[in-house]
Amino acid sequence: MDNRPIGVFDSGLGGLTTVKELRRLLPNEKIIYFGDTGRVPYGSRSRETIAKYARQDIGLLLSFDVKMIVCACGTVSSVLGDGSGENLPVPFVGVLIPAAQAACALSLGSKIGVIGTTATIRSGEFGRIIRSIRPDARVFGNACPLLVPIVENGLLSKDNPIAAEAVRMYLEPLKNENIDTLVLGCTHYPLLYDVINAYLDYEVTLIDAGHEAARWVRSSLVSGDMLCDPQQTGDCQFYVSDTIDGFVQVAELFLGDTISQQVHRVDVDTL
């Protein structure tokens, strides 16, 4: 067994969807979460800047002696590709491969949509991985740059006109292609699950990339004999690079839990 914590990072709040699923699947594990709220969003940055930020985020988590690192950020996962975890002293997983595998397994008609940040869609990595698993797949991608700030500002209800209009604008081209499966390629997007599902008339299978990554983590810990002591009390500590108050307010909404005493601010630029 391994009682060290699991490290999770994201550009902001979206990775909390992965944390929530990890806490459900692995209630005894300790989790360290870093949300780079001072530099969100990553999706409009250059490849070089994203790589720099990712190295700093990973360095912060390694300083807590974590046993695994989860990149709960579709942008970092897609821009850096499969080699993101090379030369790290602990196992590393992003969200691309787990989500792509789920999409390929669940798609009935092989018409798969992918939504993500501008950097994610520009990289083409989701399409490449999906087609490597399922060569018959037709992949339709669309960048959705407004969805991250919409989520970060808590505009999550399917009755919210701003969220509903943004989802309609971005998903209309994919809906017109008659996709049967949609990968939510940014971990912020599951917070708009109800809005997206309603626009697609509840007829499209939605793949939550963060949830699929969490399931991969559980499987990996089991196979690697790295689960914690079953008597251990699980907990989660949160670190952010901007103000704590703004993070706490929205994070508690996402997680359905009180976390104010578990949030700390760090200066990631010093790493």
Catalytic residue set: 73, 186
By the 8 A CB rule, do 66 and 31 touch?
no
DSSP 112-175: EEEEE-HHHHHHTHHHHHHHHH-TT-EEEEEE-TTHHHHHHTT---TT-HHHHHHHHHHHHHHH
In whole angstroms, give the CA distance from residue 14 to residue 19. Answer: 9
| Per-residue b or e along 111-121, where b marks 16 or more CB atoms closer than 10 Å to that residue's CB | bbbbbbbbbbb
In whole angstroms, give the CA distance from residue 66 to residue 59. Answer: 11
Beta bridge pairs of residue 33:
8, 238
Element (H, E) at 92: strand 92-93
Terminal CA-CA length for the chain: 30
